Chains A and B, each alone.
Chain A
Amino acid sequence: MTNVNAVARGLSLYKMIRRPRVLFPWLVLTPILVYYAVFLIYPLVYAVWVSLHLWIIEKPDSSPFVLLQNYRDLLLPTSRFPAAFFNTLKYVAIRTVVLVPAGLLLALLLSRFVRSQRFYLFCVFAPVVCPGAAIAVLWTVLLHPRFGMINNVIMGLGLPRQGFLTSADQALYAIVGVDIWQNMGFGAVIFLAGLLGIPEQFIEAARIDGANRWQLFWKVTLPLLAPTTLFVTVITLIGAFQVFDLILVMTDGGPGYATYVLSYLIYNEGMLRNNMGSATAIALIMFIIIMLFTRLEFRLMRPRWEY
């Protein structure tokens, strides 16, 4: 770990004043660290503090201290937490499991083109750069049960009209679908970069040794993409937990509680129901869950890291 003597010597004030090269980094970093302390660390700590109270926004100082009651209340039958929790798990699972292979597949496809690559990349990545609100609005219109284009196409094929966002069964999946549509390009670009980073020699050597396309992919390409895959999976996972724009604009958590996810619940509970204590409790639980998932992720992928 860090040698205390070395730290003390490095932080010596005399050195800093006489040599600008030592002073400069601290000159820059001090405001930066202060900023982080104020806008990142403090909110975290504050969140823990708030979650231990029945927080009253207007008179925060008179909020009753209730220790873990907010957390316990999440397990009440009237609580929306279980619904949101399981919906979130479903959402995260589907989004990650679909987006990561889809991204890889798209990248493999894209890597075969040279001149058309830029055009295809543009089309595939276009939804990624667009505002989530606009995408949500667009798809809400497209998925409309009566006037939406999608239903018109479906009925044109002879299939029955679907409820999509108005159906408690389909709503969550519809939103995941839109999310996947929007973000496919993101994984594709990162995988593409990873693919281009694989040295030609490996591919050539394997080919000379007689490997066919299939073996080439499974035994050479895929293992060499392991760090990229880990990265995409983690990003996709964390992104799945943070979904908010789509839920808010497309369904507002409905119908019923069918599309409630943790992030939306936090917003609803905190801002609309003014229940800051409960909301921050949920947020902290969500934080722990994400941390656990990420650690699990790293632990799973770690053994196949170096090649």
Chain B
Amino acid sequence: MARQMNASLARAPWNRRIRIGKLLEMSLLHLVMLAISALMFLPFLWMVLSSFKGFREILSLTPTLWPKRFTLVNYQTIMTQLPFPRYFLNSFGMATTITAIVLFTSSLCGYVFAKFEFVLKNLIFTLIISSMMIPFAVVVLPLYLMIARMHLTNNYVGLVLPSFMSAFGVFLMRQFMEAIPSELVDAARIDGAGEMWIYWQIMIPLSMSALSALGVFTFLWSWNNLWWPLMIISQPAMRPLPLGIASLAWEFATRTDLVVAGAAIAVVPVLVLFMLMTRTIVRGVALTGMK
């Protein structure tokens, strides 16, 4: 409302000075934002463009942004001589598995905490939330010792096992499900529905936005995870993508062209996903701030 008032007032001739002032201000803001956005995005641009440059051009002392000679040889090398497609598959499998499981456990837990009353409920919830505060570094080594003792190293199960629960996910889902009117649940109960039916047919469909935000979040987090795979996996064929890039950088430190291409392969799908799901991701991040 204030906006419309301002807009109509601004059209009045005696407000021309204000209008020019506002125009200048907006232009300046745009300029600043464009500069910042360029700062953020240029390295990616350079990376993608450079991945198409030959070895000699990348390491030349007079570097260029746009490739003088476009070549796909880097990608060819990476895809054929190094198991990058395999890395991709590993990452994808790992990320989808973890995401599916986390979505299930978080939403189920969220439902339980949001729509049920039971003793010790608040205590248990507080415990779960405070587990978010335990840094991974503290738990890595013992977890590694445990998983190693179970002979689950270099094993997809060992890779995925520690990530089944997300306290953050539980928190998010509970916040969201509390907003769903309990009358729906009560009505279903009166009609004789089982609890799992209520969960599956009522709560899940109504929580789709929170679920998609959590899902994208979890997917990205597991996709980008380096530390745990680093500890667990030593066989090259089992590496997920970040570990693949890191080992590429270690083994082929001087082959900047390959390294850049590898990084590009890892980053571009993520950015594409992000472009498609910007609103979901941003909303999910913003939701975390609503503590």
Contact = CB atoms under 8 A, between A and B. Distances in A.
A43 B231 CA distance: 15
Interface string A116-138: 10111111111101111110111
A131 B146 contact: no
Given A29-B112, A231-B291, A46 B61 contact: no
B245 interface: yes
Interface in B1-33: 2, 26, 29-30, 32-33
- B-side binding surface: helix, strand, loop or mixed? helix
Nearest to A16: B118
Contacts of B33: 109-110, 113, 116, 120
A53 B105 CA distance: 36
Interface residues of B, number: 94
B156 interface: no
Interface string B118-159: 111101100110010111111111111110100000000000
B164 interface: yes
B256 interface: yes
Contacts of B43: 138-139, 142
A148 to B, nearest CB: 9
A90 B38 CA distance: 28
B109 A20 contact: no
A260 interface: no
B226 interface: yes
Interface in B32-50: 32-33, 36-41, 43-44, 46-47
Interface in B94-123: 105, 108-109, 112, 116, 118-121, 123
B29 A24 contact: no
Contact of A131 (B266, B278, B282, B291): B266
Contact of A106 (B36, B139, B220, B291): B36
A138 B47 contact: yes
Contacts of A2: 119-120, 123
B235 to A, nearest CB: 16
A123 B285 contact: no
Contacts of B233: none
A193 B44 contact: no
Nearest to A8: B119
A130 B145 contact: no
B275 interface: yes
A46, A131, A238: residue with the most chain B Cβ atoms closer than 10 Å: A131
Contact of A33 (B32, B47, B59, B124): B124
Interface in B54-68: 58-61, 63
Nearest to B274: A129
B141 A47 contact: yes
Given A47-B139, A123-B37, A189 B270 contact: no
A281 B18 CA distance: 64
A291 interface: yes
Contact of A132 (B124, B127, B136, B242): B242
A71 interface: no
Given A32-B165, A124-B40, A266-B140, A134 B266 contact: yes
A211 interface: no
Interface stretch (B175-183, B201-209, B257-265): B257-265
Contacts of A9: 119
B212 interface: no
Interface in B233-250: 241-243, 245-246, 248-249
A43 B263 contact: no
B226 A248 contact: yes
A38 B118 CA distance: 23
B290 interface: yes
Interface string A255-276: 0000000110011001100001
B137 A28 contact: no
Interface in A178-227: 181, 184-186, 189-190, 192-194, 197, 200, 204, 227
Contacts of A36: 127-128, 131, 165
B133 A137 contact: no
A249 interface: yes
A-B pairs, 10 with minimum CB distance: A10-B119, A193-B286, A123-B37, A43-B142, A133-B242, A190-B289, A131-B224, A46-B142, A24-B195, A134-B263
Given A7-B120, A129-B271, 16 more contacts: A9-B119, A29-B124, A32-B105, A39-B162, A47-B139, A109-B33, A118-B278, A126-B274, A129-B220, A142-B46, A147-B59, A197-B290, A231-B291, A242-B135, A245-B226, A283-B138
Interface of A: 2, 6-7, 9-11, 20-22, 24-26, 28-29, 32-33, 35-36, 39-40, 42-44, 46-47, 50, 57, 60, 106, 109-110, 112-113, 116, 118-127, 129-134, 136-142, 144, 147, 149, 152, 181, 184-186, 189-190, 192-194, 197, 200, 204, 227-228, 231-232, 238, 241-242, 244-245, 248-249, 262-263, 266-267, 270-271, 276, 279-280, 283-284, 286-287, 290-291, 294
23 contacts: A7-B120, A11-B119, A25-B112, A32-B105, A57-B145, A110-B33, A120-B36, A130-B267, A133-B266, A137-B246, A138-B43, A139-B43, A140-B249, A141-B259, A149-B46, A190-B288, A197-B290, A227-B291, A245-B227, A248-B230, A249-B249, A267-B230, A290-B135
